[in-house]
Amino acid sequence: MKELLLRAVHSPVGTQAIAQLERVDAWRSQEDWLRVLTYHRVIDPAGDPTVYPRIAVTPQAFAEQMAFVAQHYRVISMQELLDYRRGSCCLPPRALLITFDDGYTDFAEHAWPTLRRHGLPVTLFVPTAFPDSGESFWWDRLYHALMVTQAQEVTSPGGVLPLGSRAERERAFTRLREQVKSLPHQEAMVLVQEICQGLGVEPPPSAILGWDALRRLAEEGVTLGAHTRTHPLMNRLSLEEARAEAVGSLRDLEREIGSALPIFAYPSGGISPEVEAMLAQEGFALAFTTYRKLNRLNLRQGPEWLRLGRINVGPRTSLTLLRAQLLLWSASLARSFA
Ligand SMILES: [Zn+2]
């Protein structure tokens, strides 16, 4: 189904249909809809085994996407959304928010210069235990270890996985990632550590921005937001651990940057009603999930401010596909795409 839709979107008829639907969208612009984009890395992963390619968009693709949204959407800042949330008037038609998760160094190198050139506001969600720690995220350590190891197989809780070819290594990563994400956070981190040690590979150098660089970006206009401290799945923690991760992240930002907005992004889609209620209790006003959804704002019962949907942009997101996903029409189609 997904492949079929992708092919339809990229066919000449599909591209024409998107252009038509964009005109219909412009008509419906009096309705309050919020589109949120999520990026992780802007870097060309070709030939670099330290870069996990499934979260990377090339600088060229990013530049093309930003030129498009700058021309066709009204990119708003997080502060504008917070003001709207707190009751001040309205959002502009075709409002779109740009977010980055995880605070990789390539944000400063490739993304921010492009955003600045277009005058586009952006929010960077930072897992605050990582800056200046020298540590890398578990998925980067695991991916790097699997790609460069001399070992021909890896032992996982689910059995032995072959590492003969590049394709087998990619498959092993996918399997292991699922296993890691199914475990309580501490156990998961021990498993990653054991696998990487077993493969005999040194961890890659950290590619995460330090506090000096983050302060500089904040001074230049980047909004920083809480993304936990250690990047656990919030629904794989006790509620008190989840609270310490969310509030701790906000306090780290306040201490290092001087101030921080009450906003939060859930790592890797780990969300539960209990965590959502805890965030509300702790005064968070906006929280962003990884669920693909356009957000309708002027609903009678109000939107789900602590469960906002986002559109993830990855290496397979062509400009055509991005344009299709930004259409209001795709809000109803999102389920069949997901
Ligand atoms: Zn993240």
pLDDT digits (tens, 9 = 90+) for 65-90: 999 999 999 999 999 999 999 888 78
Residue 95, number of CB atoms within 10 A of its CB: 22
How far does residue 117's CA lie from ligand 1's centre (Å)? Answer: 26
In this prediction, residue 13 carries a pLDDT of 77
Comparing 151-155, 177-181, 184-188, 300-304, the range with the smallest average pLDDT is: 300-304
Task: Tell me the C-alpha distance between 146 and 153, whole Å.
Answer: 9
Give dist(CA 43, CA 95) in Å, integer: 26
Question: Angle of helix 185-198 relative to helix 166-182, nearest 10 degrees?
Answer: 150
pTM tops 0.85, yes or no? yes
197: CA distance to ligand 1 center in Å? 24
Share of the chain above pLDDT 70, in %: 93
Q: How do the domains of the chain map onto residue ranges? A: 2-133+206-337, 138-198
Burial code (b: 16+ CB inside 10 Å, e: under 16) for 55-69 equals bbbbbebbbebbeeb
231 C-alpha to ligand 1 centroid (Å): 6
What's the gap in Å between 282 CA and the centre of ligand 1? 21
Assess contact for 10 and 318: CB atoms under 8 A. Answer: yes
Please state, in angstroms and rounded to a whole number, the distance separating the CA atoms of residues 204 and 189. 16
pLDDT digits 0-9 by tens, 97-122: 999 999 999 999 999 999 999 999 99
CATH of domain 2-133+206-337: 3.20.20.370
CA of 208 to the centre of ligand 1 (A): 12
Tens of pLDDT, residues 199-232:
999 999 999 999 999 999 999 999 999 999 999 9
Distance 191 CA to ligand 1 centre (A): 19
**pLDDT digit string, tens, across residues 275-285:** 999 999 999 99
Ligand 1 mean position, distance from CA 60 (Å): 23
Question: How much is the mean pLDDT over the chain?
Answer: 91
Residue 201: Cβ within 10 Å count: 20
| C-alpha 228 to ligand 1 mean position (Å) | 9
Question: Residue 338's pLDDT is what?
Answer: 42
CB-proximal residues (5 Å) to ion ligand 1: 101-102, 267
